[in-house]
Amino acid sequence: MTFGDRVVGALKLDANTFEDIERDPTAMGQAVGIIALAALASSLGQIWRLGLGTMLMGVCMSLIGYVLWAVVVWVVGTKVMPDPATKADFPEAFRTIAFAASPGLIGVVTIIPFGIGWFLMLLLTPVIWLWSMAAMVVAVRQVLDYSDTFKAVVVVLIGFVVFLVFWGTLWFLTLGAALVGGVFGR
């Protein structure tokens, strides 16, 4: 299966696509690639305001966030809440979960000028998040070989809480550093 086929399959929430990704150890580069592309797509419209360095930092933070989410899903799914058929290693979990970032590619609409891209992104962000969460549930169900979708939803939500704490901490540290720099930099 090609990279494009996998992205389209993930967008369609196709369980067979996630199974293919799980079985293919050579898809690790593609997994990292889809996370990076989704992160770049969502910030593309702000390249002039943010700068390339900030966008690349966003890519790095997205990669770290997905690694963290994959670790949580893998640990919870294989150690805390396994099914009898559950057998997954971390690379399999990361590869499949990474492709749940595919809906983030829609963020490329932010490049449309005159505020239209920004407005579309405002409307599409909740759709992208929900779509990515749905893809994550399918990915988790497949990689952990769950027979129950509800169990996959619970594991995804646990990972999501950890992911939110991670991002919240980064925002707090970034904002705190900016405020301290602003106060003491005068």
Residue 9: give the domain boundaries.
3-184
Task: Kindly give, in sequence order, each residue whose CB lies less than 8 Å from that of residue 29, ignoring residues fewer than 6 positions away.
Answer: none
In sign, the C-alpha dihedral spanning 139, 145, 147, 153 is negative
* Predicted pLDDT of residue 179: 65
| Residue 92, φ and ψ in degrees, nearest 5 | -65, -45
Range from 6-20, 101-115, 142-156 carrying the lowest mean pLDDT: 101-115
Structure tokens at 42: 């969502």
pTM to 2 decimals?
A: 0.86
Coil, strand or helix at 47: helix
Could you identify the residue written with the tokens 């086929």? Answer: 5
pLDDT tens readout for residues 6-47:
999 999 999 999 999 999 999 999 999 999 999 998 888 677
Q: Domain tally for the chain?
A: 1
Task: Name the range with the highest mean pLDDT among 42-46, 103-107, 118-122.
Answer: 103-107
Q: Which of 69, 96, 33 lies closest to 157 in space, CA to CA? A: 69
Length of the chain: 186
Cα–Cα distance, 174 to 150 (Å, whole number): 36
Given a contact cutoff of 8 angstroms between Cβ atoms, the answer to whether 174 and 81 are in contact is no
